[in-house]
């Protein structure tokens, strides 16, 4: 029986998604819960498992194509022939959708699996809804050979179709035009910024291998692309998926919430010393410790002391919702755009667990595997612009929240300590907040608390 898998809503009311990469091709055997495709929604790249077991009969969407939720994207033959024969041999109306789907499969991959071809052939070549399927099955056991002339016309078709059958293993080639590569190799090429189409594969049938990708990275840069690029030309980048959702969210936030941004220069020398000591602590031996961890801890302590900073504006109810838990968002720049996954209940985590959660969150984001659930429910956000060598900025509040803290780069600068000018580790913080919810006094106190803790991390113990 041919079964179709329709694109599900993997987020909160999403209406469409883009097919990023197929993990299977027509003719492949698939199992239940096997990952078959990666899709990009307005929130994240998501891997979809197959709900059926059988042979892939058709891929109904191409990579790069945007599909509405509810439309079929793949057809799988589960091998249960009789039910299909029963449904296809009834009224003519029931046979027509099967014919259309079969035609689509044949257009995409000429050498479709023989059992499916055998069942659909009478419809495609004009035999209509004649009960040909019930006569074809006995022919597999040769028991139908002595039948009359009416059965022999279709009986000639299987031998004609049999020779192309060995060509079925070559079907994976069309799934990525001109390129054969396994999913791990494709991911490696994506991570290294290598265009698979530019590589001559050394594997079987021209398959691109890991060694081919690494060789392409170490090869001298090609001059041809630069020469072929016209001076003063233009490039158009489609705005879709995560990038489009981010653009819409930022515009809505900027023009609906009255932003105020305050700045504070902080002596981070004490924080850097604390980071050094934590790295030498056995509990943190296998955990990455960075200054961002202590910035996060400082913000969590400040939010506990000033709960209004961790609240949101409810427009429909005309209420301010103060949240006594913190889902701490960490803005992450990815090749597909800016995303803000969050650490759930960050306020309740010990420092070492907070470090593990933040590291896992960032690694997942960079790998493009952040799920929509990881980006929902955030209450306050940190954006680390310092990693780009930037001192500070005026960050836009993440929709649904009321504040965002920008953490700038840490630089050696002259600083006055006890009346003497000395070199210190200096950083600039910027706190943007929604002035409908947070008064200037509250915003200033929160920023000052964060600065005080970073200058003297022991304050985090005193105020916890």
Give catalytic residue positions: 435
Give the integer Cα–Cα distance in Å for 216 and 228.
20
- Measure the CA–CA gap between 278 and 166, rounded to whole angstroms: 61
SS (H, E, C) the chain: CEEEEECCCCCCCCCEEEEEEECCCCCCEECCCCEEEEEECCCCEEEEECCCCEEEEEECCCCCCEEECCCEEEEEECCCHHHHHHHHCCCHHHHHHHHHHHHHHHHHCCCCCHHHHHHHHHHHCCCCCCCHHHHHHHHCCCCCCCCCHHHHHHHCHHHHHCCCHHHHHHCCHHHCCCCCECHHHHHHHHHHCCCHHHCCCCCHHHCECHHHHHHHHHCCCCCHHHHHCCCCCCCCCCCCHHHHHHHHHHHHHHHHCCEEEEEEEEECHHHHHHHHHHHCCHHHCCCCCCHHHHHHHHHHHHHHHCHHHHEEEECCCCEEEECCCCCEEECEEECCEEECCEECCHHHCCHHHHHHHHHHHHHHHHCCCCCHHHHCCCCEEEEEHHHHCCCCCCCCCCCCCCEEEEECCCEEEEEEECCEEEEEEEEEEEEEEECCCCCHHHHHHHHHHHHHHHHCCHHHHHHC
Structure tokens at 78: 């589960």
The CA–CA distances, whole Å, from 28 to 282, 338, 429 equal: 49, 35, 54
Backbone angles phi, psi at 288, to 5 degrees: -75, 125
84 backbone dihedrals φ, ψ, rounded to 5°? -70, -40
Query: How many other C-beta atoms are found inside a 10 Å radius of the C-beta of residue 446?
Result: 26
Residue among 33, 39, 52 nearest 7 (CA): 39
- Please state, as a whole number, how many other Cβ atoms lie within 10 Å of the Cβ of residue 451: 20
- Reading the block at residue 188, the tokens are 């490696």
> What is the rounded distance in angstroms from the CA atom of residue 316 to the CA atom of residue 427?
39
């Amino acid at each position: 029986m041919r079964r179709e898998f329709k694109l599900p809503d993997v987020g909160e009311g999403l209406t469409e998604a883009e097919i990023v990469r197929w993990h299977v091709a027509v003719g492949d055997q698939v199992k239940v819960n096997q990952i078959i495709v990666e899709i990009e929604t307005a929130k994240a790249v998501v891997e979809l498992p197959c709900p059926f077991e059988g042979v892939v009969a058709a891929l109904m969407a191409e990579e790069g194509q945007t599909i509405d939720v509810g439309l079929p994207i793949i057809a799988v033959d589960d091998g249960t022939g009789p039910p299909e024969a029963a449904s296809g041999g009834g009224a003519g109306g029931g046979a027509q959708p099967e014919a259309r789907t079969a035609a689509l499969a044949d257009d995409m991959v000429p050498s479709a699996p023989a059992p499916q071809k055998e069942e659909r052939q009478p419809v495609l070549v004009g035999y209509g809804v004649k009960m040909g399927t019930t006569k074809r099955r006995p022919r597999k056991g040769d028991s139908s050979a002595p039948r009359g002339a009416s059965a022999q016309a279709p009986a000639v078709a299987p031998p004609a179709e049999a020779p192309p059958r060995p060509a079925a293993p070559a079907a994976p080639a069309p799934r990525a035009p001109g390129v054969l590569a396994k999913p791990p190799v494709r991911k490696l090429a994506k991570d290294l910024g290598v265009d698979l189409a530019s590589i001559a594969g050394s594997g079987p049938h021209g398959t691109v291998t890991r060694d081919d990708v690494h060789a392409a990275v170490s090869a001298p840069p090609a001059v041809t692309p630069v020469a072929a690029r016209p001076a003063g030309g233009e490039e158009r980048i489609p705005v879709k998926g995560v990038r489009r959702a981010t653009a819409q969210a930022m515009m809505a936030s900027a023009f609906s919430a009255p932003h105020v941004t305050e700045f504070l220069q902080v002596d981070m020398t004490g924080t850097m010393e604390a980071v050094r000591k934590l790295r030498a602590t056995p509990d943190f031996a296998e955990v990455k410790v960075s200054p961002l961890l202590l910035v996060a801890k400082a913000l969590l302590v400040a939010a506990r002391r000033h709960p209004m900073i961790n609240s949101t504006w409810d427009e429909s109810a005309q209420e301010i919702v103060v949240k006594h838990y913190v889902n701490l968002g960490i803005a992450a720049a990815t090749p597909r755009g800016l995303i803000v996954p969050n650490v759930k209940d960050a306020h309740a985590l010990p420092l070492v667990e907070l470090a593990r959660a933040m590291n896992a969150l960032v690694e997942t984001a960079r790998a493009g595997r952040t799920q929509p659930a990881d980006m929902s429910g955030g209450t306050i956000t940190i954006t680390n612009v310092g990693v780009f060598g930037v001192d500070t900025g005026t960050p836009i509040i993440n929709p649904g929240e009321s504040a965002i803290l920008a953490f700038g780069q840490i630089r050696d600068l002259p600083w006055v300590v006890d009346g003497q000018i000395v070199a210190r580790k200096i950083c600039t913080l910027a706190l943007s907040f929604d002035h409908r919810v947070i008064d200037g006094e509250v915003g200033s106190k929160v920023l000052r608390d964060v600065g005080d803790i970073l200058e003297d991390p022991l304050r985090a113990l005193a105020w916890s």
